[in-house]
Amino acid sequence: MHAALKTNDILREVFTHIRHDPSAAKRSKDAYHAALVCRQFLPHALDALWFSVDNIRPLLSLIPNSEIVTSDDDSLALHGILHKADLATFDLYARRVQEIHQIDRPHPFGLHVAVIVDLLDCLGRRFLFPNLRVLRFTPFRDELRSSYCFVLGPNLERLEVFYGIENDLKYFFPRVVQAAPSLRHFKTSNVIPPSLMHLTSRLPKLQLLESWNGYTISPTSFVSSIPFAEHIETWRLGALSIESPESPPATIQFPVLTCLELKAHLISSNITPLFSQSLFPKLKRFTFNAPPYDFRPETANLYKESWLNLCSLIFKQPLEFLSIRKYDDDDDDPVVETQMPLENYFASVKTAHPLTTLRMAEPRLLKPLTNSSIDRLCTAFPKLTDLYLHCYASTLASFEIVALLAQRLPQLKSLDIGIDGSSLSDPPTVPILSHRLEKLCLQNSMVGYTFWFARYIDRLFPFATVKSFPLPDDGDDVVLALKLIRDSRQDQEVRSLQENS
């Protein structure tokens, strides 16, 4: 072991994994800080220390003959002309920085353009952090069009811009393309100006693109409007439509796209054409918002029919992940005329489907779950590992339904389903199982008597952790009762007999 720790490559790898523990009682004694006082380990420990930063202020303190001007957004001001030798220490650590994460809130970068230009002239280069690979930030005021342009560099692979002023992308995005040709991931919470979209053709390694843009697939403009189609793997966008839905282009494809997310609220007829042709031959993950309903009872049947048509096309894809988000986060009122049995949504699935994650967050879609619904669900998707069904108070699942899920889906790892525990009995009416569920969310459940509720959970899922947030009323008491039950493990003998028989 001692000889191994003399090998630079091994040390470098070790210290890419060691990080300080902010919750440690004595942080100065953990492996990370101990390494900083060991001469042999110091260079590699410093690589780890400066690898990822959330604030460049410690770096600015290494610049001599300067001051922080508190009246000007805590920005750095130089007191004289610097020489390259003056920046030797700053340069030593700046070269170690590979990730900058400044995303919690808009925070001044700390360097105005004039100061940055002086620093770069002294250093004899064009980029402040030449080895930077990841940059995630929330711009402050007009910094998107000024200071951050000098942080971009040829090694940058991942760039995320949170919020900011949308117009600033007109100035920032061309600089991104020019300065970071190796970019693989680009995320922004704004719209990239459509007039600049053609510039993505200069990013041949781009694999992930996220923005609020809307795109239209047209045979005449496809190459210029979506130039990244050949190599994009993850695409999160506002909306996507086809210019002529009645005759979608058969020759256009996204050959390596595996993850698609539509953020806007689209009606079913906007989404259906996307799956009527083989646009996405490799698609594995699809996320979209539940189509809106106009709350007119006379259109309810058409609404449900459009849903069934859409789902029949979606499940023709060999998806592994499907997420249907709520249309309106502020509205949970039931709409009886739009609810259907769960099994109706995948009635077209006749053989076992490879889906592993199903998340239906729109409660207006589901009637109360039945044994038949669960049986059909488990038959259609036997490989499910993550299941989320948002239920109303009137459509909560009984523990008997949950027990059936556990028995039919042995690979289930995460379950989020509203459970009705308002009328439980003792002794429990569910079987004792040894299911390996890892995470259980109770956010929409009705607890009733907390100890019985916890006892039922323990009988079905003896290894599951209840998510601490969000919890329903009396949820904290359920967590405490579950801990007490597991400490005593009243059912352990019965479970052991079953496992050994």
pLDDT at 110: 79
Which residue, 203, 223, 250, sits at the end of a domain?
203
Which of the listed residues 163, 179, 203 is the one where a domain comes to its end? 203
Tell me, yes or no, whether 370 lies in a domain: no
Residue 318 lies in a domain: no
Q: Are residues 31 and 68 in the same domain?
A: no
Neighbour tally for 368: CB within 10 Å = 17
Last residue of a domain, one of 175, 203, 231: 203
In a shared domain, residues 22 and 162? no
Q: Is position 268 within any domain?
A: no
69's CB contacts (< 8 A; 6+ apart) are 75, 76, 77
User: Does 199 lie in the same domain as 81?
Assistant: yes
Q: What pLDDT, on the 0 to 100 scale, is given for residue 227? A: 96
User: Does 221 map to a domain?
Assistant: no
Looking at the structure of the chain, the number of domains it has is 3
pLDDT in the model for residue 497: 73
- The answer as to whether 358 is a domain residue is no
For residue 110, the one-letter residue type is G
Domain match, 79 and 177 both: yes
pTM of the predicted model as reported, rounded to 2 decimal places: 0.87
Evaluate whether 124 touches 91 at the Cβ level (below 8 Å).
no
Radius of gyration of the chain (CA): 28
Domain for residue 156, yes or no? yes
Q: Which parts of 18-112 fold into alpha helices (H)?
A: 31-36, 42-51, 57-60, 88-94
pLDDT digits (tens, 9 = 90+) for 463-496: 999 998 889 889 899 999 999 988 887 667 677 7
Query: pLDDT tens digit string along 31-77?
Result: 556 555 555 556 766 777 788 888 888 888 889 988 888 777 778 88
User: Is residue 406 located within the same domain as residue 474?
Assistant: yes
- Is residue 420 packed enough to be buried (19+ CB in 10 Å), middle (13-18) or exposed (0-12)? buried
Interatomic CA distance for residues 16 and 37, integer angstroms: 17
DSSP string of 373-439, one letter each residue: HHHHHHHH-TT--EEEE---GGGPBPHHHHHHHHHH-TT--EEEE-BB-TT--SS-SSPP------E
User: Both 44 and 111 in a single domain?
Assistant: no
Looking at the fold, whether 17 and 66 belong to one and the same domain comes out as no
Instruction: Write the CB contacts of 146 (distance below 8 Å, at least 6 apart in sequence).
Output: 112, 113
User: Residues in the chain with pLDDT < 70?
Assistant: 1-42, 44-45, 105-107, 164, 245-250, 328-334, 490-491, 493
User: 36 and 136 share a domain?
Assistant: no
Check whether residue 43 and residue 111 sit in a common domain: no
User: Sign of the CA dihedral 376, 377, 381, 382?
Assistant: negative
For 396, the token pair is 């909560």
Say if 384 falls within a structural domain: no
159 & 190 share domain: yes
Same domain? 178 vs 42: no
Domain extent at residue 36: 4-49
**Residue 247 belongs to some domain of the structure:** no
Do residues 22 and 151 share a domain?
no
